[in-house]
Amino acid sequence: MSDAPITLALSKGRIFDDTVPLLAAAGIPVDPEATRSRKLILPTGDPGLRLIIVRASDVPTYVQYGAADLGVAGKDVLLEHGGEGLYQPIDLGIGVCRLCVAAPLGFDYAQAVRRGARLRVATKYVDTARQHFARKGVHVDLIKLYGSMELAPLVGLADAIVDVVSTGSTLKANQLVEVEEILPISARLVVNQASLKTRAARLEPLLARLAAAVAGPAAAGSALAGGGSGVPA
Ligand code: ATP
Ligand code: PRP
């Protein structure tokens, strides 16, 4: 069995910030300020576990190819990636939002769809959006963007967008409204399928502690004491 530490891929920002308390509850302290150093490989309080810092949309790729054993990624990112080579055992209940179609206030999206109009839709979730509109029989031209999707309808780049929405304040600030929910989103723990077999002795207890941390303090106490697997099927 490899002596290398287990590697967990995280993205900076909300995923890192929301995962650190879960790791702490699983008995693995991480310095919450650690990403300030600009180091991309970070230690944890457990010498057997290290973190790597990658772009949110790159997390599944690092785990798929085994450069990381584990990762934390939003369901939106996983859908767009396709999930090949990844086992998704735990919904971490963080990064909660929803993937939506949004359009400018005053644009009658439902009527445009009814009359079979061809819509220009800007998004970074091109494959997911293509599948959604194909299922609904809506004709779309998709325009790939990497951020600030809400701007596209305001400057005539698109009729509508597909993006994640949480409080709705970004849509509101840009005079957009949600016209269709595609699916609810939260962040998942993803595991390299080969690692799960070859490094089971080290990964399974870690997964059990994380699952218990997600379930709450009582379950986390029992997993830290060695009770129950806690890993959902
Ligand atoms: P990349 O740098 O790869 O483009 P990103 O900028 O989308 O990624 P984050 O903004 O940190 O990265 O988002 C990471 C994940 O958090 C998203 O994939 C999504 O699942 C979730 N998320 C995005 N926006 C919100 C939000 N406003 N509220 C809650 N969760 C969100
Ligand atoms: C995300 C998303 C929306 C916003 C939605 O942006 O792309 O713009 O959050 O959240 P709200 O409904 O609570 O306003 P983020 O804050 O991550 O900025 P970025 O995509 O530009 O990194």
d(CA 23, CA 54): 18
Ligand 1 contact via 144 beta carbon (within 6 Å): no
**pLDDT value of position 64:** 97
Neighbours of 107 (CB within 10 A): 17
Topology of domain 97-185, per CATH?
D-Maltodextrin-Binding Protein; domain 2 (3.40.190)
The structural architecture, per CATH, of the domain 6-95+186-224 is 3-Layer(aba) Sandwich (3.40)
**Position 51 pLDDT exceeds 50:** yes
Q: Which pLDDT tens digit goes with each residue over 71-128? A: 999 999 999 999 999 999 999 999 999 999 999 999 999 999 999 999 999 999 999 9
d(CA 151, CA 161): 9
Buried b (16+ CB within 10 A) or exposed e, 15-36: bbebbbebbbbbbbebeeeebe
**pLDDT value of position 224:** 61
User: Which ligand has the shortest distance to the CA of 57?
Assistant: 1
Question: If you measure from the C-alpha of residue 133 to the centroid of ligand 2, how many angstroms do you get, rounded to a whole number?
Answer: 22
Q: Which tokens go with 191?
A: 């595991």
Ligand 1 contact via 56 beta carbon (within 6 Å): yes
Question: Any idea which residue has 């369901």 for tokens?
Answer: 75
DSSP string, 46-72: STTEEEEE--GGGHHHHHHTTSSSEEE
User: Rounded to a whole number, what is the largest CA-CA distance in the chain?
Assistant: 62
Strand (E) or helix (H) holding 227: none
Q: Which pLDDT tens digit goes with each residue over 22-32? A: 999 999 999 98
**pLDDT value of position 220:** 64
Query: Domain spans of the chain?
Result: 6-95+186-224, 97-185
Question: If you measure from the C-alpha of residue 136 to the centroid of ligand 1, how many angstroms do you get, rounded to a whole number?
Answer: 26
**pLDDT value of position 233:** 30
Local confidence band at 226 (pLDDT 50, 70, 90 cut-offs): low
d(CA 203, CA 1): 12
Ligand 1 contact via 57 beta carbon (within 6 Å): yes
**Position 196 pLDDT exceeds 90:** yes
Q: Nearest 5 degrees, angle CA 31-CA 34-CA 36?
A: 145
Within this chain, domains 6-95+186-224 and 97-185 share the same CATH topology: yes
The pTM (predicted TM-score) of the whole model is 0.93
**pLDDT value of position 216:** 87
Local confidence band at 221 (pLDDT 50, 70, 90 cut-offs): low
Q: Which of 55, 170, 181, when mutated, tests ligand 2's pocket best, judged by the most ligand atoms within 8 Å of its CB?
A: 170
**Position 232 pLDDT exceeds 70:** no
Q: Which pLDDT tens digit goes with each residue over 174-191? A: 999 999 999 999 999 999
Question: If you measure from the C-alpha of residue 71 to the centroid of ligand 1, how many angstroms do you get, rounded to a whole number?
Answer: 14
CB 89 within 8 A of CB 69: no
Provide the 8-state DSSP code for 157: S
Ligand 2 contact via 55 beta carbon (within 6 Å): no
CB 225 within 8 A of CB 218: no
Query: Which is the closest atom of ligand 2 to the Cα of 172?
Result: 14
Q: Nearest 5 degrees, angle CA 82-CA 41-CA 225?
A: 85
CB 60 within 8 A of CB 71: yes
**Position 7 pLDDT exceeds 50:** yes
The alpha carbon of 185 is separated from its chain's Cα centroid by a whole number of angstroms, namely 8
DSSP 3-state assignment of 19? Answer: helix
Ligand 2 contact via 37 beta carbon (within 6 Å): no
**pLDDT value of position 34:** 87
